[in-house]
């Protein structure tokens, strides 16, 4: 029998995350949406708490990794760090997704380090707040088309290139940069490097002004003959054309369910606020009657809830599979695609159902609608996720199905 309740071991974490979302995130949500590029200093104490949870193995808000070589001999089902992190992320993003993205040491770069770093690197970068730099001016959804280069020079690599739309690119202590060792060898030559702030040749060019997640900084970075120690290359330096892109792409098996969890948290916040407004307006939602026999607003709300539940369950599946060392690339993309599309549909429809209250700053509904769109775009767009799913289901390669 499948039990869809929150695991007992996760309940304390979920409660703590909900308290943080209620007492810390929600009260300052509008403040930092208006004060774009201002660092939310209120997060420092909360970040220290999440560091403790991650260290204890209880999971936090986004720095867990997929390390399939671990626990090879463990038997039975595991509800481990990935599932716990997803559940915590949902609660915190119910509070404010941009503030979660602003949390020190909980970035996507930290998830990359946790996923592919060796034991020495895990220890060395354990206290580092790491952003993730993949997208380039001429390379968006196709990560294999990266042009930033890494040239071996003695005990170092020299990086040259530019990265755009780097979340926490200005505030983080370091950036995990994707670069190619040899363009002629295609995606197999793409590796990730930890580049620490202050490294000569590493420059933050500018910060972007954005539609949503405005509390989170998004930067353009430039690398001009930036010398990085070879020991900062994550994973193996060998170019294995048979294995291809698998090393760096393993990161996405973890981060895509996390972005899906962010979307679920925002969607739930919008649904709860809209449900309250419908109740105040005297519109009853009856789960025992067919939707078409109810008020049009109630019927719409029931449809949105159904989509929400589907996105929630696909995300839990992807996280559970990661915890149990099962290949989850397909499920991670399904979760990201479903949750990303669903949160946009839900938040926009909730704005519509709420009328004038949904379109003004009297409520957070308009903010959640703005925040939601990025969750359908970053960590692989909706279209890319659907392409990945199609390739997996049809057994096609990237060359066969573009």
Q: Which residues are catalytic?
A: 379
Q: Residue 42, exposed/middle/buried by CB under 10 A (0-12, 13-18, 19+)? A: middle
Q: List the structure tokens of 18.
A: 């909900």
CB 263 within 8 A of CB 372: yes
Q: Is 363 helix (H, G, I), strand (E, B) or coil?
A: coil
Q: Residue 257, exposed/middle/buried by CB under 10 A (0-12, 13-18, 19+)? A: buried
Pairing of β 190-196 and β 174-180 = antiparallel
Q: What residue has token string 């002004």?
A: 209
Which residues sit opposite 227 in a β-bridge? 158
CB 98 within 8 A of CB 214: yes
C-alpha span between 51 and 66 (Å, rounded): 18
Classify residue 136 by its DSSP letter.
Answer: B
C-alpha span between 103 and 122 (Å, rounded): 19
Number of CB atoms found within 10 A of residue 30's CB: 14
C-alpha span between 49 and 17 (Å, rounded): 10
For residues 377-399, b (16+ Cβ closer than 10 Å) or e, as one string?
bbbbbbebbebbbebeeeeeeee
**Of 102, 254, 244, which is closest to residue 180 (Cα–Cα)?**
244
Which residues sit opposite 196 in a β-bridge? 174
C-alpha span between 226 and 70 (Å, rounded): 34
CB 274 within 8 A of CB 350: yes
C-alpha span between 243 and 252 (Å, rounded): 16
Residue 386 phi, psi dihedral angles, 5° rounding: -65, -35
C-alpha span between 99 and 89 (Å, rounded): 11
């Amino acid at each position: 029998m499948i039990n869809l309740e929150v695991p007992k071991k996760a309940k304390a974490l979920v409660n703590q995350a909900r308290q943080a979302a209620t007492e810390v995130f929600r009260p300052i949500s509008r403040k930092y949406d208006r004060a774009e590029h201002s660092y939310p200093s209120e997060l420092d104490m909360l970040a220290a708490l999440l560091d403790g949870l991650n260290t204890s193995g209880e999971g936090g808000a986004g720095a867990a990794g997929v390390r399939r070589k671990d626990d090879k001999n463990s038997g039975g089902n595991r509800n481990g760090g990935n599932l716990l992190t997803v559940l915590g992320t949902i609660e915190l993003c119910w509070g404010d997704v941009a503030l979660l993205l602003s949390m020190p040491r909980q970035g996507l770069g930290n998830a990359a380090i946790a996923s592919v770093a060796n034991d020495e690197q895990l220890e060395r970068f354990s206290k580092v707040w790491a952003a993730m730099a993949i997208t380039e001016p001429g390379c968006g959804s196709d990560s294999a088309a990266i042009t930033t280069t890494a040239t071996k020079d003695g005990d170092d690599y020299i990086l040259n290139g530019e990265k755009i739309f780097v979340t926490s690119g200005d505030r983080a202590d370091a950036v995990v940069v994707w670069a190619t060792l040899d363009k002629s060898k295609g995606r197999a030559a793409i590796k990730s490097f930890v580049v620490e702030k202050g490294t000569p040749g590493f420059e933050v060019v500018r910060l972007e002004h954005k539609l949503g997640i405005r509390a989170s900084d998004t930067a353009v970075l430039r690398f001009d003959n930036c010398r990085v120690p070879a020991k900062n290359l994550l994973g193996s330096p060998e170019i294995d054309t048979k294995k291809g892109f698998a090393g760096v792409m393993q990161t996405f098996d973890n981060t895509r369910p996390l972005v899906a969890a962010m979307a679920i948290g925002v969607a739930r916040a919008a649904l709860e606020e809209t449900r309250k407004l419908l109740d105040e307006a005297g519109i009853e939602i009856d789960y025992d009657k067919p939707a078409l026999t109810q008020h049009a607003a109630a019927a719409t709300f029931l449809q949105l809830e159904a989509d929400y539940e589907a996105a929630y369950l696909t995300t839990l599946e992807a996280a559970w599979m990661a915890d149990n060392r099962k290949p989850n690339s397909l499920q991670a993309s399904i979760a990201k695609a479903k949750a990303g599309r669903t949160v946009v549909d839900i938040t926009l429809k909730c704005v519509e159902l709420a009328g004038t209250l949904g379109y003004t700053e009297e409520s957070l509904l308009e903010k959640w609608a703005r925040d939601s769109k990025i969750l359908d775009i970053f960590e692989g767009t909706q279209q890319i996720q659907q392409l990945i799913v199609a390739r997996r289901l049809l057994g096609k390669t990237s060359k066969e199905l573009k």
